[in-house]
């Protein structure tokens, strides 16, 4: 219990300290700010201890809000570990990220950290919604942090999408609770048994789909990731988008009765987003935008697992665990890549070191042998078993999943090209921190493999040297590299010098792809609402004018008002009313 309070309280307390220190001016406050900011990552230590030593019982605090509760089950603990590690590294990266107002950024990251812990560890609906909401709205501050024109636009779009998602989530939470799913352990069964099951699943898909970057709700992701300071992008992609996944795993009726229709819908959207994101991403020229598209694609991979779990109750448990393992793998790898952009661009680290670390992280994301991706992708492929798309019978999903690896390879190759051309400044270095970054990228395979081992069965662990598995995991990467090389050769041709497809600059498909369309739609809705409101005003105004034409006591009243001062008038009327009251009481009292 104490550990829980510390794990959540310390980050919040430090965040508060940072915010207060920001409001106060003066050199001492400034020095305090910078010191606290540098040491802010230490605030994640209680949560780290909790991850390692916390029991799996449900912890309750009844006086807090409407009663909050948390637990560390097989879904929560690995994701909590991921959260702690990524936030700690990201916080360590803040002081020299080049972001202005580092202490403020650290403060918001710490609030976000506490909320992320809450999202994965919540044991009831209210706690989950509390944490999810705080995380979402703090995310706005992270995206906005740099205050550039791009950041403002990204933050605005993030906010609109978040508010829409929040409303869907709130509706779903209320319906789940009303149908008896207040405790998360009961929620899937409650949803399965509910009369409003389809409505709830639809709300969950939309609400959490915004966070998880499900097409066509993904539009905020590429904008937000490129606008946010790099440490914030890292946790955004590594942890925060996973909150959508956690929501699905906690509330969808997985492992209850089969819903092939919804399963197919999830898989369809997942595949659409997963593959179109590759196309859109290849046409960008900002490394962080490309990585964001890669995240959309990878979240599509995870959504496939969720869809299968929905459609085939027998596979649900395996799919849930595979999704957790995959989320941990993707979180660590993607955060390393994002932070790598900062290391590459502005830190004095030998070029070959950075290149090696980034290459390992990239290969891992694509699922090459001996990386964390190898373990996670194999587990996922085994978990979907012989599930098909559509669920009623069609293509075997296990044959579709490897193509995600090809997409990842292509995106990362594109990212490498863009990064290679980028100007480097190499201003400063922080050896310990960069060492941790390199280590977390290179040895990510160890904890992921260990986790998979622990969850086996039903989680499947690949043989490290089985030729069949090695080939199955290698060909997408090899094919991707080959295609990338061919494309690079092709792009060198003189006659393609002006082709926007051969040398994309993010103008064929703008970052956020369909965002412009959705933005226009949103603006139109806003205008329509305003017009409706204005018309409502004028209609009531007209009615009022019409009514005013009829005899009214107002002129008489104003005459009275004019004749008597404010004070005397109201005193007189008060007396009069008291008398009227007496009279009334008299009649009331004398009747039987």
Footprint on this chain of other proteins (rule: CB under 8 A): 22-23, 25, 61-67, 126, 129-130, 133-134, 137, 144, 147, 152, 155-156, 159, 163-164, 167, 170-171, 174-175, 177-178, 526, 529-530, 532-534, 536-537, 540, 543-544, 552-554, 557-558, 561, 566-567, 570, 573-574, 577-578, 580-582, 584-592
Residue 180: phi, psi to the nearest 5?
Answer: 95, 20
Which of 133, 474 has the CB closer to other proteins? 133
Which of 485, 574 has the CB closer to other proteins? 574
Per-residue three-class SS string for 202-245: HHHHHHHHHHHCCCCCCCHHHHHHHHCCHHHHHHHHHHHCHHHH
Which of 490, 525 has the CB closer to other proteins? 525
Shortest approach of other proteins to residue 213 CB, angstroms?
Answer: 21
Shortest approach of other proteins to residue 150 CB, angstroms?
Answer: 13
Please give the torsion angle defined by the CA atoms of residues 399, 404, 405 and 410, in that order, rounded to the nearest 10 degrees.
Answer: 140
Shortest approach of other proteins to residue 510 CB, angstroms?
Answer: 23
- 3-class SS of residue 497: coil
Which of 102, 369 has the CB closer to other proteins? 102
Instruction: Give the Cα separation of 155 and 173 in Å (integer).
Output: 25
Shortest approach of other proteins to residue 539 CB, angstroms?
Answer: 11
Sign of CA dihedral 171, 176, 180, 183: negative
The distance in angstroms from the start CA to the end CA of the chain is 64
Shortest approach of other proteins to residue 573 CB, angstroms?
Answer: 6
Which of 69, 346 has the CB closer to other proteins? 69
Which of 392, 584 has the CB closer to other proteins? 584
Shortest approach of other proteins to residue 537 CB, angstroms?
Answer: 6
Give the helix, strand, coil percentages of the chain, each rounded to 5. 75, 5, 20
Per-residue three-class SS string for 287-330: HHHHHHHHHHHHHHHHHHHHHHHHHCHHHHHHHHHHHHHHHHHH
**Between the CA of residue 533 and those of 167, 519, 522, 541, what are the distances in Å?**
21, 21, 16, 12
389, β-bridge pairs: 395
Whether the upstream peptide bond of residue 458 has omega within 30° of 0, thus cis, is: yes
Shortest approach of other proteins to residue 62 CB, angstroms?
Answer: 5
Who contacts 427 (Cβ-Cβ below 8 Å, separation ≥6)? 346, 347, 348
Shortest approach of other proteins to residue 548 CB, angstroms?
Answer: 11
Who contacts 450 (Cβ-Cβ below 8 Å, separation ≥6)? none
Which of 147, 505 has the CB closer to other proteins? 147
Which of 185, 579 has the CB closer to other proteins? 579
Query: Taking a C-beta distance cutoff of 8 angstroms, is the pair 225, 289 a contact?
Result: yes
Which of 49, 133 has the CB closer to other proteins? 133
Shortest approach of other proteins to residue 242 CB, angstroms?
Answer: 20
Q: Hey, what long-range contacts does 516-525 have (CB within 8 A, 24 or more apart)?
A: 518/216, 518/219, 519/157, 522/160
Which of 5, 482 has the CB closer to other proteins? 5
Of 399, 392, 403, 398, which is closest to residue 264 (Cα–Cα)? 392
Of 364, 308, 309, 321, which is closest to residue 454 (Cα–Cα)? 321
Shortest approach of other proteins to residue 302 CB, angstroms?
Answer: 27
Which of 516, 529 has the CB closer to other proteins? 529
Shortest approach of other proteins to residue 581 CB, angstroms?
Answer: 5
């Amino acid at each position: 219990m104490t550990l829980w309070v510390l794990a959540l309280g310390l980050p919040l307390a430090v965040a508060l300290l940072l915010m207060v220190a920001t409001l106060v001016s003066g050199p001492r406050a400034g020095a305090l700010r910078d010191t606290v900011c540098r040491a802010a990552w230490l605030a994640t230590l209680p949560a780290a201890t909790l991850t390692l030593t916390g029991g799996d019982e449900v912890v309750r605090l009844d006086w807090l809000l409407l009663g909050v509760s948390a637990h560390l089950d097989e879904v929560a603990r690995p994701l909590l570990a991921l959260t702690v590690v990524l936030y700690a590294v990201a916080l360590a990266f803040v002081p020299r990220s080049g972001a202005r107002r580092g202490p403020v950024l650290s403060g918001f990251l710490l609030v976000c950290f506490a909320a992320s812990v809450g999202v994965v560890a919540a044991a009831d609906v209210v706690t989950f919604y509390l944490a999810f909401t705080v995380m979402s709205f703090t995310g706005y501050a992270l995206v906005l942090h740099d205050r550039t024109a791009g950041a403002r636009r990204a933050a605005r779009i993030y906010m609109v999408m978040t508010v829409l998602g929040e409303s869907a989530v709130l509706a779903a939470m209320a319906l789940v609770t009303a149908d008896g799913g207040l405790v998360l352990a009961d929620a899937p069964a409650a949803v399965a048994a509910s009369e409003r099951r389809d409505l709830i699943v639809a709300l969950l898909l939309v609400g959490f789909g915004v966070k998880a970057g499900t097409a066509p709700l993904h539009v905020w992701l590429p904008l937000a990731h490129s606008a946010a300071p790099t440490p914030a992008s890292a946790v955004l992609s590594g942890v925060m988008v996973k909150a959508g996944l956690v929501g699905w795993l906690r509330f969808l009726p997985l492992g209850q009765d089969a819903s092939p229709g919804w399963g197919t819908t999830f898989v369809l959207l997942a595949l659409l987003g997963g593959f179109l994101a590759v196309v859109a991403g290849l046409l960008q020229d900002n490394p962080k935008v490309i990585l964001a598209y890669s995240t959309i694609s990878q979240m599509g991979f995870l959504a496939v697992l969720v869809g299968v779990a929905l459609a085939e109750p027998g596979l649900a448990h395996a799919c849930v665990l595979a999704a957790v393992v995959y989320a941990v793998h993707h979180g660590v790898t993607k955060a390393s890549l994002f932070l790598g952009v900062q290391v590459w661009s502005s830190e004095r680290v030998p070029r070959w070191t950075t290149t090696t670390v980034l290459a390992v992280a990239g290969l891992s994301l694509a699922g090459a042998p001996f990386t964390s991706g190898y373990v996670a992708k194999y587990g996922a492929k085994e978990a979907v078993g012989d599930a098909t798309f559509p669920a009623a019978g069609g293509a075997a999903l296990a044959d579709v999943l490897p193509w995600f690896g090809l997409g990842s390879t292509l995106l990362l190759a594109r990212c490498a090209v863009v990064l290679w051309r980028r100007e480097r400044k190499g201003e400063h270095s922080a050896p310990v921190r960069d060492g941790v970054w390199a280590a977390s990228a290179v040895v990510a395979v160890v904890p992921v493999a260990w986790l998979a081992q622990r969850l086996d069965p039903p989680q499947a662990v690949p043989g490290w040297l089985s030729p069949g598995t090695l080939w199955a995991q290698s060909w997408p990467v090899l094919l991707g590299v080959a295609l990338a090389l061919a494309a690079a050769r092709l792009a060198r041709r003189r006659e393609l010098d002006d082709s926007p497809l051969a040398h994309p600059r993010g103008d064929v498909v703008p970052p956020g792809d369909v965002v412009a369309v959705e933005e226009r739609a949103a603006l139109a809705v806003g205008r329509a609402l305003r017009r409706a409101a204005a018309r409502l005003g004028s209609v009531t105004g007209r009615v009022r004018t019409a009514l005013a034409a009829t005899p009214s006591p107002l002129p008489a009243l104003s005459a009275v008002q004019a004749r008597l001062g404010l004070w005397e008038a109201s005193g007189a009327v008060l007396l009069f009313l008291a008398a009227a009251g007496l009279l009334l009481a008299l009649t009331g009292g004398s009747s039987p």
